[in-house]
Amino acid sequence: MNAATLLADHRRFFDTGATRPVEWRRGQLEAFLRLLSEKEDELTGALEEDLGKSRTEGFLSEVAVVRAELDFALKHLDSWMEPEKVSVPGGLRPARAWTQARPLGVVLIIGPWNYPMQLVLAPLVGALAAGNAAVIKPSELAPATSTALARLVPLYLDRSAVSVVEGGVEVSTDLLAQAWDHIFYTGGERVGKIVMKAAAEHLTPVTLELGGKSPAVVLDGDLRTMARRLAHGKFMNAAQTCVAPDYVLTTPDRAPALAEALAEAVREFYGSDPRESGDYGRIITDDHFDRLVKLLPDGRIVSGGRHERAERYLEPTILREVDPGSALMQEEIFGPLLPILEVVDLDAAIEFIAARPHPLAAYLFSDSGEHLTEFTQRVQAGGLAHNVSTIQLAVPGLPFGGVGTSGMGSYHGYESFRTFSHRQSVFSKPTRMDTLRLAYPPFGPIKRKLLRKLL
């Protein structure tokens, strides 16, 4: 079916009003939960096939995140759907004013390959909770997951309202040419611009979940714990995570011990040869593998660095003595290389971050409350996290999204519901007592005087 027909079919269904009642929404969210529990093996198996992601990691970082979003939405849906009363200025009374959340219509969700399941299904939770019909287009670079979703989603969710479309650039381009009611895109900056241009043709609003170089500033604190939490957030999914710490800024006196503690954390997680570990992933494509290997000479490798193209295996690698002007520090790494750069103090670290495009996430590792205050007040990023990395995404109450080149709009929890709703305003005034007469022309000097007094 072509994109225009698909959209027209879903719009026809949406226009019947079938998706609006809370019962339909709840029914979809509950069926969605069943999909995740009954087909978990199939889904995590597909993730393993696409990204060498261990089934436990697939469960933790994809299935469980979507499940938490579903639980949260089911718990709060009634209150999110409640109209919100607004106070009416004296001169307009008697009257009532309120806002009500209405679904947008038929929305398009395009996802990337790195969390190929979570990043199409988590937005879909918000789209359905808000009462929309939706088309999701998973990444063609994660074909097993894309195929699994295309097979499983229609078995659980209302086919009149939800479709999965598989394909690459051509299919995506065809979808983007249609007049959707919202486009939700997750991926890189380059394609983000293509999406926004296509959406502009129809004045379709967009959410762009993009990436960038997310810094981690490491100062005072338990070095081993900090290193473990950094290594965990960085090297899961072979560091192909949009909010993974991209580089570390630390003081010269801490840099050698931190590099050693990071290498130790990697050994703890994946053993002395991570290639043998079932818990360490692989790079998605040969092109990405080649791109990453080319970045290796941009610093001095202090641990890791081994790689094997046939398997697209690249060892977790810590680098020092990195030139801030090198490619490693110019492009989003999106792979298991972690450069450590030196700065004299927190102030210098904040200036380093501020001199670059706003990242999707920024991390502070420090036990000092003053450092935390300074960091949260001065660092501009999509989100901040303190003494952890990457796991902040699992808190449904925290909006997730970028700022500047790392994206626009946000989702998770209530923000997902808001993203996929129009907050419609309603003003209502009874006809008894026409208190508005004062505002009707003709205006004479008496009316003018009275109005001045009243307003």
Candidates 35-43, 112-120, 257-265, 366-374 — which segment interacts with ligand NAD by CB under 6 A? 112-120
Binding to ligand NAD (CB under 6 A): which residues in 207-236? 209-211
Candidates 107-115, 224-232, 257-265, 427-435 — which segment interacts with ligand NAD by CB under 6 A? 107-115
Using the 8-state DSSP alphabet, how is residue 411 labeled?
B
Cβ at position 360, least distance to ligand NAD in Å: 5
Q: 3-state DSSP helix/strand/coil percent for the chain, to nearest 5? A: 50, 20, 35
DSSP per-residue letters across 197-208: HHHHHTT--EEE
Residue 209 known to be catalytic: yes
Residue 173 vs 277, nearer CB to ligand NAD: 173
| d(C-alpha 317, C-alpha 266), whole Å | 9
Query: Contacts with ligand NAD: how many residues (CB under 6 A)?
Result: 29
Residue 67 vs 412, nearer CB to ligand NAD: 412
The amino acid present at 126, given as its one-letter code, is G
Query: Which residue in the list 242, 315, 332, 415 is annotated as catalytic?
Result: 242
Q: Which of 190, 204, 209, 181 is nearest to 122 (CA)?
A: 209
Candidates 23-31, 84-92, 132-140, 272-280 — which segment interacts with ligand NAD by CB under 6 A? 132-140
Kind of pairing between the strands at 247-250 and 337-342: parallel
Which contacts of 162-165 are long-range, i.e. CB under 8 A and separated by 24 or more positions?
162/28, 162/124, 162/128, 162/133, 162/134, 162/135, 162/136, 163/6, 163/10, 163/134, 163/135, 163/136, 164/135, 164/136, 164/137, 164/138, 165/3, 165/6, 165/135, 165/136, 165/137
Candidates 108-116, 229-237, 350-358, 445-453 — which segment interacts with ligand NAD by CB under 6 A? 108-116
Q: Does residue 143 have a cis bond before it (omega within 30 degrees)?
A: no
Cβ at position 244, least distance to ligand NAD in Å: 9
Residue 131 vs 211, nearer CB to ligand NAD: 211
Binder of ligand NAD out of 181, 246, 332, 415 (CB under 6 A): 332
Residue 239 as a binder of ligand NAD (CB under 6 A): the answer is: no
| d(C-alpha 375, C-alpha 18), whole Å | 47
Cβ at position 405, least distance to ligand NAD in Å: 10
Cβ at position 217, least distance to ligand NAD in Å: 20
Cβ contacts of 262 within 8 Å, gap of 6 or more: 227, 230, 231, 303, 318, 338, 340
Binding to ligand NAD (CB under 6 A): which residues in 152-211? 168-169, 172-173, 176, 186-188, 191, 194, 209-211
Torsion sign (Cα): 438, 444, 447, 453: positive
Candidates 82-90, 111-119, 265-273, 364-372 — which segment interacts with ligand NAD by CB under 6 A? 111-119
Residue 127 vs 176, nearer CB to ligand NAD: 176
Cβ at position 247, least distance to ligand NAD in Å: 14
Residue 141 as a binder of ligand NAD (CB under 6 A): the answer is: yes
Residue 276 known to be catalytic: no
Binder of ligand NAD out of 108, 349, 360, 379 (CB under 6 A): 360
Cβ at position 62, least distance to ligand NAD in Å: 12
Burial class of residue 34, CB neighbours in 10 A (0-12, 13-18, 19+): exposed
| d(C-alpha 325, C-alpha 207), whole Å | 31
Residue 364 as a binder of ligand NAD (CB under 6 A): the answer is: no
Per the CB < 8 A criterion, the answer to whether 1 and 165 are in contact is no
Residue 210 vs 314, nearer CB to ligand NAD: 210
Binder of ligand NAD out of 28, 44, 139, 204 (CB under 6 A): 139
Binder of ligand NAD out of 10, 25, 53, 137 (CB under 6 A): 137
Residue 77 vs 338, nearer CB to ligand NAD: 338
| d(C-alpha 216, C-alpha 317), whole Å | 16
Count of CB atoms situated within 10 Å of the CB of 8 = 14
Q: How far is CA 144 from the centre of its chain?
A: 22
Binding string, residues 383-412; x marks residues near ligand NAD by CB under 6 A: -------------------x----x-----
How many angstroms separate the most distant Cα atoms in the chain? 89
Burial class of residue 382, CB neighbours in 10 A (0-12, 13-18, 19+): buried
Binder of ligand NAD out of 109, 110, 292, 314 (CB under 6 A): 110
Candidates 53-61, 104-112, 348-356, 433-441 — which segment interacts with ligand NAD by CB under 6 A? 104-112
Beta strands in 160-201 (DSSP E): 162-164, 182-186
Cβ contacts of 126 within 8 Å, gap of 6 or more: 69, 73, 411, 415, 416, 417, 419, 420
Residues that bind ligand NAD (CB under 6 A): 110-114, 119, 137, 139-141, 168-169, 172-173, 176, 186-188, 191, 194, 209-211, 242, 332, 334, 360, 402, 407
* Active site amino acids: 209, 242
